[in-house]
Amino acid sequence: MQVLLNYIDTDNEYEISQFLNSLEDEYLKESWKFATAKIKEIYKL
């Protein structure tokens, strides 16, 4: 969750990309991608 909060504050995709790349479970990865997309939508990033 902290990664998403940092993304909102900085609008820097590097940390979120690193986090997503570190996930091995595809279902979990897709869930986080969805959450990230919604954050982008809500905060217009």
3-class SS of residue 11:
coil
Total Cβ atoms within 10 A of residue 23? 14
Distance (Å, rounded) from C-alpha 32 to C-alpha 17? 11
Q: Residue 25: which H helix or E strand, with range?
A: none
pTM over 0.95: no
Written as tens digits, the pLDDT of the chain (45 aa) is 888 888 888 888 899 899 999 999 999 999 999 999 998 899 887
Which residue in the block uniquely carries the two structure tokens 């940092």?
A: 6
Torsion sign over Cα 19, 17, 39, 31: negative
